[in-house]
Amino acid sequence: MSPRTIATLEDLECVTWFTNVGKRRSSDVAFLSSWSAAIESCSSIKWENLCLEASNQYCERLVERGPERFATWNMIIQEMKRMTIPLVTAKIAAVVAEHGLPKVFADTVQWDILHLAMEAEFADVYPPGFYASQAFWYKEGRFPCGWEGEFPKGRLVIY
C-alpha cells in the first residue's frame, strides 16, 4: 500500500464522521434534512449509476495510461477491503445503531471509502477525482449521497 493511501485512510480515521449531517452551510451543494431523505437519495438508481460510472471512468483512464498497473486492480482492491471494511464498520457503528440505518447506508459508505483508497493507490498513474471529493465531505462530518441535475452540471447532494 502506498504512503499516499495510508495517509488518506489515516486522515479519515482521525475525524468523527456524520457530526454535521443536517446542518446547512453555504456552498454549492444541495442539503437534505433527514436520514430518511439521505437513505432514499443514496439508494436511488441515479446515484448508484453515477458512482459506478465514476469508478468505470477512473478505470478507463488507468487502462489508457498504465495497463500494467491496472492489471493489479483486482488484487489491490482485495488488499484495500482488508483496510477499509474495518475502518468503515467502526466509523458508522454509532450512527447506524442510533438511527437504525439500513444496509444500503453501510454499502454506500464502504463503496465510497474503498474507491477513495483505490484512487489514492493509483494516483501515480491518474490523479484522484470523484471519490477524493467525496472524502472531503466525510471529513467535514457530512454524508455525500446524491446528485441534483445532470452530471457534470448540477450539484452534489449531502446530508
Please state the domain extents for the chain. 3-14+37-158
* Stated length of the chain: 159
Q: Residue range 19-30: average pLDDT?
A: 88
Edge to edge, what strands does the sheet with 155-158 contain? 30-31, 155-158, 144-148
Task: Give CA torsion, residues 92, 44, 55, 115, to 10 deg.
Answer: 0
Arithmetic mean of pLDDT over the chain: 96
Q: Helix-strand-coil percent breakdown of the chain, rounded to 5?
A: 65, 5, 30
Residue 40 is predicted with a pLDDT of: 98
Which residue matches cell numbers 462530518? 141
Residue 35 is predicted with a pLDDT of: 98
pTM of the model: 0.95
Q: Kindly report the CA angle at 73 between 130 and 142, in degrees rounded to 5?
A: 30
Residue 25 is predicted with a pLDDT of: 80
